Chains A and B, each alone.
Chain A
């Protein structure tokens, strides 16, 4: 699964979690979305691990700076399965 495919699937997850619609792009970061706080980030990680069947290591999600890097991390975890 490439970055674009991961982001397309992420979009459905974000649509379920966010009250206000968020259009995902590779460049989008959490700081640009008012609703995207640390608590919502937990819900995102919980949903992503379940939806993609992957597990993240402690701290690695926090190292991603935008949706594109997050999608790349998910793609790497998928390749390791």
Chain B
């Protein structure tokens, strides 16, 4: 069965206000993990060797932090604000490791609107729903075009 590709949302810059919040759930599925490995070839043992990761005190293979950056890219481009957006910068601090299969809820709050540049600043927080911890926090700057 074919599944129609996801369509990006379309939020006007003018409809965005400071303090507005949005969120979306993501999962580090085997497909996400394996495609990330295939695309970027980071096979450092902490990410691919279960025994190595456990010997370093982790519960399993540590997922690449940059996978979360990929979720931010999806969130901004497809969900909030959607198709008019251009991600200018992302600054994430990885507070706790995530593991294969973890579910994460990304919450974003518009902390600043800069009308002169049509740019919004998002404060970001990844809540790891599987582990019950904050996985990462940070901020992103997003330009919002006119169409």
Contacts and interface: CB of A to CB of B under 8 A. Distances in A.
Task: Report whether chain A binds chain B.
Answer: yes
Interface of A: 39, 42-43, 45-46, 49-50, 55-61
Contacts of A43: 88-89, 141
Contacts of A57: 115-116
28 contacts: A39-B88, A42-B88, A42-B114, A42-B117, A42-B119, A42-B141, A42-B143, A43-B88, A43-B141, A45-B114, A45-B116, A46-B112, A46-B114, A46-B117, A46-B119, A46-B121, A49-B112, A49-B114, A49-B116, A50-B112, A55-B114, A55-B115, A56-B114, A56-B115, A57-B115, A57-B116, A60-B116, A61-B116
Nearest 4 A/B pairs, CB to CB: A56-B116, A42-B117, A46-B114, A58-B116
A40 to B, nearest CB: 10
A57 B117 CA distance: 9
Nearest to A50: B112
Contacts of A61: 116
Interface string B104-130: 000000001011110101000000000
B87 to A, nearest CB: 11
Contacts of B116: 45, 49, 55-61
